[in-house]
Amino acid sequence: MNRPQAISVAPALECTDLRVRYSGQDAYSVGSDAIGVSFSVNHGELFALLGPSGCGKTTTLRIIGGFIEPTSGKVEIEGVDVTRRQPYERPTNTVFQSYALFPHLRVEGNVAYGLKMEGVSRTECTTRVGKALELVGLAGMERRRIAELSGGQQQRVALARALVKRPAVLLLDEPLGALDLKVRRQMQDELVRIKQSTGTTLIHVTHDQEEACAIADRIAVMKDGLIVQIDTPEALYREPRNAYVAGFIDAGTIVRGRNLRDGSCMEVLHPDMTLRGNMPSYLKTSRPVAALLPRNRIKVSIARNSSSDQRDGVRGTVERLVFTGSVFNMNVRVSERLELRAALAIEEVSVLREENLRPGSVVELHWRPEDIVFLEDSESLKS
């Protein structure tokens, strides 16, 4: 076999074992004694760092941008170590949370700023600025003042200003946080479109799991300065590795109880119900296991008088039924200790009739054993 050696293409971004500890602090802002933050992002990928505020996601982004020097670890962009380089010596550009537009310059002045730093010729500069503005949907707005723009438009200018530099990695620091829902949805679509048309690699920091799932190719869920899980959005929902991830992305109800294991079969015994299913191979058996009952896998039916089979099902009282705009969210109280959440499609509710689902109504919930997800029941990884 005489295969030619594969050309090794370095990933667009590779972070290895990043740790940040500020002097005078005994806890790490990013990383821990045992482990640092490591991940690798492919070319043209939209990679999201997801987590609550203070989880270290923005710090990680600022390390990549060169605004914070990591205490240890390495940042490589396209195979080149840039860890000790200043922001202006890196092929990264950032869209800041506050946009940080220059109010004394007009739109074109803002977008052209980075090109002028490179010494790009005037004519090329004008063309590239025009193209960048076109890309973000602001064609012809060159002469506008920043103060005259709406929040969404300012956001686009910030994006154009970073994109025009053709960065190897584009960093987005919660750029959509200040926008209202409608504009935010629109900008999410645009980000995906821009990613596809330019082939730019994007790192997107957000605390909004819906936004991350909507646009990211892969998501790194962070907690307390550490990455808990890196996966595609579907995989995160399907197989969250632990209770924290499942809780943060709001995948469903986590049920804790005594573990009963028999080969690949697993049972979690809650005093008020039992969940059984198949144990995934990636789970370590030494740690306690909890069961996740995904919201959208639950079948709801109106309770009949005769006590039906309680295997893979449970009976409870409706506490709340809320229409979110696309699905109904239902809270069902099984006992004082246990409340389950289910998501119902609009058609399901109309078949069951809404008046049968009012608070106080008794319903039966059913699921298939293969829909139950077992995960590590640890809130913290720092142990």
Partner 1 sequence: MAAPVVRLKEANGSPIAMMQGGSFRSPLLSALLDRFRNRGLENPLLPLPAVLVVAVGFFMPLAVLVVYSFWPTEDGRILHQWTLENYTRFFTRQAYWGMLLRSFGWVALASALTVLLSFLFAYFVAVKVPPSRRLVWILFAIIPFWTSYLIRVLAWLNMFGDGGLINKGLIEIGLIQEPLAFLGFGRPAIVITFVYLLFPLAFLATYIAIERINPAMLDAAADLGAKPWRRLVTITLPTARSGIVAGFVFAFIAMMGDYATPQLIGGTSGTFYANLITNQFGYSLQWGFGATLAVLFLLTILLLVIVLRFIVGGVEAAGEYTGGFTRRPAPFLFAYSLAYLVFLYMPPALLVLLAFNDSEETGLPFVGFTTRWFFEVFDNPVLLSAFWTSLQIAVAASLVSAVLGTLAAVQIARVKGRLRSFNLGMISVPLFLPPLVLGLAIIVGLNALGIQRGLWTIIAGHTILTLPVVTLLVLVRLEGLDRNQEIAAMDLGARPWWAFMTVSVPQALPGILAGVMIAFAISMDEFILTFLVTGSQQTLPLYIFGSLRIRVRPDLNAISALMLGASFLLLTVGALVAIGRERVIGRTRAARLAPVKAESTA
Give me the residues that bind partner 1 (CB under 8 A), please: 7, 9-10, 12, 43, 65-67, 77-80, 82, 84-94, 96, 98, 100-104, 113-114, 117-118, 145, 147-148, 150, 161-162, 165-166, 168, 180, 182
Q: What is the dihedral of CA 112, 185, 230, 263, to 10 degrees?
A: -170
Q: How far is the CB of 74 from partner 1 (least distance, A)?
A: 12
Q: Which is nearer to partner 1, 199 or 360 (CB)?
A: 199
In angstroms, the CA 225 to CA 59 distance is 9
User: Cα angle at 282 between 279 and 287, to 5 degrees?
Assistant: 75
Q: How far is the CB of 161 from partner 1 (least distance, A)?
A: 7
Q: Which is nearer to partner 1, 1 or 147 (CB)?
A: 147
Q: How far is the CB of 313 from partner 1 (least distance, A)?
A: 45
**What b/e string do you get for 123-161 counting C-beta neighbours within 10 Å, with b at 16 or more?**
eebeebbbebbebbbbeebbeeebeebeebbbbbbbbbb
Q: Which is nearer to partner 1, 10 or 346 (CB)?
A: 10
Q: How far is the CB of 241 from partner 1 (least distance, A)?
A: 31
Q: Which is nearer to partner 1, 176 or 332 (CB)?
A: 176
- Token couple for 269: 């015994």
Place of tokens 């991940």: 39
In angstroms, the CA 163 to CA 174 distance is 16
Q: Which is nearer to partner 1, 194 or 292 (CB)?
A: 194
In angstroms, the CA 20 to CA 30 distance is 5
Q: Which is nearer to partner 1, 78 or 348 (CB)?
A: 78
Q: Which is nearer to partner 1, 58 or 253 (CB)?
A: 58
Q: How far is the CB of 86 from partner 1 (least distance, A)?
A: 7
Q: How far is the CB of 170 from partner 1 (least distance, A)?
A: 11
- Token couple for 73: 């670890």
In angstroms, the CA 268 to CA 291 distance is 7
Q: How far is the CB of 165 from partner 1 (least distance, A)?
A: 6
CA–CA distance from 201 to each of 50, 92, 217, 218 (Å)? 17, 10, 11, 12
